[in-house]
Amino acid sequence: MTLNYKTFTVGVEEEYMVLDPVTKELKSHEQKIVQEGQKVIKDKVKAEMHQAVVEVGTDICQDVDEAFRDVSTLRTTIAGIADSLGLAMGASGTHPFSHWESQLITDHVRYSEIVNELQEAARSNLIFGLHVHVGMETREMANHIANSTRYFLPHIYALSTNSPFWEGRSTGYKSFRTKVFDKFPRTGIPDAFESIEAYDNYVKLLIKTNCIDNAKKIWWDLRVHPFFNTVEFRICDIPMTVDETIAMAALFQAVCARIYMLRSKNLNFMQYSRPLLNENKWRASRYGIDGYLIDFGKEEEVNTRALIYELLDFIDPVLDHLGSRHRVQYVHKILEHGTGADRQLAVYEQSRNLSSVVDYVSSNFLAGL
């Protein structure tokens, strides 16, 4: 079987904070950033549920270098528009001290429905994530790859942790964002589905019984996308910098390609149950890259960094096919300098001032561009 690595296209969605440059608080941009942005980058920018959030999305990119260029353009464009409106931008999974109660909700039918149904859980969901879509040959292959890649979600999530503060407090977590999001239904790491038909039947049952009106209200950490031939990875905090975002995208793409390579040799990666995988997710959210994850094969705790190096070894055979080796290399820099959460905490340790943390986050929005 000839392996077609061109299938594994990449799409990246990022959610940004809109900031008041003086108070450092989250600030409603009254959809002006979206309106101005759409003149330049069309439908690549859109409003989110809270008015202090801007969401952007790339085109379908053939490789991670193209994704890097696209995300760079999006960040630069949005930052320029914000600046012209007297606002600033930042990328962090949570704002260090703004309170959700004072943030306005976007006036839109879909958001009104969600708030009406989920109430306080929706209103308080003031968080910022990264979504990475990886293209698939077929939905059957997407289901197979989604089942197997679940194991690696906590490892990659640990590298993305970037939300240590919530409402003016140091939470003790490297990623508190997922703790906020856990209040939603249909979140977290999903079960494996034995077939794409089983997954589709699950979705149909939820729609039939009025649990959801469409499959986009399944907010798992990864999902076979309801409308596109992609697996969508949704577990990560929004990384502070573009280099980190593209490193995460490259890891997700490479894990998918590696599972595909194994499948072509009639091999598969071990499937583990959702409760076991959730133990690792919790550890990743609490300790980031400085804790221990469970190695289920050995049935013991292993240093998270060691498991990340094992992950890099695992995906190594596909990196040159994908042209992503130089992007994955950035993981070594994250291991050396810390994740966004580690760096936010270091600024706070030094300054004891959360406004300084916001300044640091905002000053890194275009770092390396």
Express each pLDDT in 78-96 by its tens digit. 999 999 999 999 999 999 9
Residues of the chain by 3-state class (helix, strand, coil), percent to 5: 50, 15, 35
Q: Identify whether the C-beta of residue 222 lies closer than 8 Å to the C-beta of residue 233.
A: yes
Contacts of 55 (CB under 8 A, 6+ apart): 13, 14, 15, 16, 45, 46, 47, 48
Strands 230-233 and 130-135: antiparallel
Euclidean distance between CA atoms 332 and 334, whole angstroms: 5
117/166 Cα distance (integer angstroms): 24
- Cβ 142 vs Cβ 231: under 8 Å: yes
Residue owning tokens 């049952």? 205
pLDDT in tens, 34-71: 999 999 999 999 999 899 999 999 999 999 999 999 99
So what's the pLDDT on residue 352?
A: 98
Statement: the pTM of the whole predicted model exceeds 0.85: yes
Q: Which fold has domain 5-363?
A: Creatine Kinase; Chain A, domain 2 (3.30.590)
Helices (DSSP H) in the chain: which residue ranges?
32-41, 64-84, 109-118, 120-123, 139-149, 153-160, 177-181, 196-208, 242-264, 274-287, 304-322, 325-328, 330-337, 340-351, 354-363
If you search the block for the tokens 């089983």, which residue do you land on? 198
Q: Give the mean pLDDT of 198-211.
A: 97
Instruction: Centre a 10 Å sphere on the Cβ of residue 140 and count the other Cβ atoms it contains.
Output: 13
d(CA 236, CA 337): 18
The domain segmentation of the chain, as residue ranges, is: 5-363
Give the percent of the chain with pLDDT over 70.
Answer: 100
Of residues 83 and 124, which shows the higher confidence score?
83
Indicate the SS3 state at residue 17: strand
Segment 267-312, tens digit of pLDDT:
998 899 999 999 999 999 999 999 999 999 999 999 999 999 999 9
Say if residue 2's pLDDT is above 80.
Answer: no
Q: For the chain, what percent of residues have pLDDT higher than 90?
A: 90
Secondary structure of residue 297 in the 3-state scheme = coil
Beta-bridge partners for 222: 233
pLDDT at 211: 96
Query: Given this model, what pLDDT does residue 22 score?
Result: 98
Instruction: Check residue 195 and report its DSSP letter.
Output: S
| pLDDT bracket for residue 1 (50, 70, 90) | low
Alpha carbons 324 and 319: distance in angstroms, whole number? 5
Q: Which among 253, 251, 195, 189 has a CA at the least distance from the CA of 221?
A: 189
The whole-number pLDDT of residue 64 equals: 98
